[in-house]
Structure 1
Amino acid sequence: MILSLHAQAQLFLLTVLLGGGMGLFYDGLRVFRHALRHNAFWVQAEDGLFWLLAVFLVFCVMLHANAGEIRFFTILGLFGGMGLYFLTLSRMVLAVSDKIISAVKYMLGLFGRIVTMPFRLLWLVFRRPARKIGGFCEKQRKKLLQSVKLCVKIIIHRLHINRRMLRKK
């Protein structure tokens, strides 16, 4: 299919925008990884899904706008758009998102401290009595455990005696 120069320029601009959009999406993925740390397996799985999505989008654009023909300037536009995005806007996007993530984490921590404040105050009031009660319960548990051990020894001794008597009979 023969494209006019105007159509080729539009296709090139579309692929540059698609490349920039792919770069922005990948930065979103990087922000997600920064906000929620996870292991190498999930990073690789996310990268694989990103590239599958990217290939699908490029295929759809090439199929729709270019009748499925792959031209050098479209590939150049895709990588050029990604490169242009990563050289210009990526640092700013990551810096702003880092500040937003820090602010959200701070707000969530503040909210958590506000919500748990009554419980922490109650703990300050009841900590000493709770520890004394805990110590008392621990002593009682040990005494009970010793009593149970003694009872088990007595029962086992009686069973041995009964078994000896049964053998004699």
Structure 2
Amino acid sequence: MTVPETFFSVSEELWLFGLSCAAGVFVGAAYDVLRVLRMLLPHNSLLTAAEDIGFLAAYAVLLTAFSNAAARGEMRLYFVIGSAIGFTLYFFTLGRVVTAVLRKLLAGLGAALKVIFSPLKTVFALPCKKAMVKFVGNLQIIVKPLKKIKIVLLNRRVLLYNKMANKKRKNVKSVAEKNETRKTEEKRSVQPRTR
């Protein structure tokens, strides 16, 4: 009866650690693809977060596949540590060089496209200007009735109680003033008249 191996030798563990470092370099290269995509197309924070979550999910799948293919399906903590070391080394060494080169290439490509399409800009300037005037005119036709429909009290700047001139009511006495005049009248009526 043959018993399957249940442990790795030291040389096997070192080999697996080296492979996990190489897998981390591969993960770093995949992250560079995301960095290039973010350079090409500006992203908002929601899309960036979704991309990062997808990237971490792909990393988890890669780690699981790595443990299944190289380590008989056994997950070890040093796989994660090795891939993190490989990713960090790639990110701060070769990744910086790749990113700098790609930035320069994309900037040059953008400048070349700007030069190529600059004659088209002058050709389309007049029609765009006329179209903008037409669209602004149509927008004014749509917006004017909507402004008239607005209820005055919903517009907070026009509310009557927000104006300082209307804070004090002109024809109505305050409750405190009414009470004081009533008290003074009662005192006068209670006091005996002396001659």
In the superposition, the TM-score normalised over structure 2's length comes to 0.56
1:103 aligns with 2:129: no
Report how far residue 72 of structure 1 moved.
3.0
Report how far residue 99 of structure 1 moved.
0.4
Residue equivalent to 1:30: 35
Report how far residue 61 of structure 1 moved.
0.6
Correspondence for 2:75 among 70, 76, 93: 70
Distance (whole Å) between structure 1 residues aligned to residue 111 and residue 19 of structure 2: 40
Task: For residues 20-41 of structure 1, give each alpha carbon's deviation from its aligned partner in whole angstroms, at most 9, with x where no partner exists.
Answer: 1111211221221122102111
**8 Å Cα contact 2:63/2:80 also seen in 1:** no
The one of the two structures with greater contact order (alpha-carbon pairs below 8 A, sep at least 6) is 1
Distance (whole Å) between structure 1 residues aligned to residue 118 and residue 92 of structure 2: 40
Aligned Cα root-mean-square deviation (Å): 2.5
Give the 5 Å matches for 1:1-169: 1-115=6-120, 119=123
State the percentage of identical aligned residues.
30
Report how far residue 17 of structure 1 moved.
1.0
AA aligned to 1:110 is V
Report how far residue 116 of structure 1 moved.
5.1
Report how far residue 55 of structure 1 moved.
0.6
Distance (whole Å) between structure 1 residues aligned to residue 120 and residue 23 of structure 2: 45
Unaligned runs of 5+ in 1: 124-129, 131-169
In the superposition, the TM-score normalised over structure 1's length comes to 0.64
Residue equivalent to 1:153: none
Residue equivalent to 1:133: none
Distance (whole Å) between structure 1 residues aligned to residue 120 and residue 70 of structure 2: 55
Unaligned runs of 5+ in 2: 1-5, 131-195
AA aligned to 1:112 is F
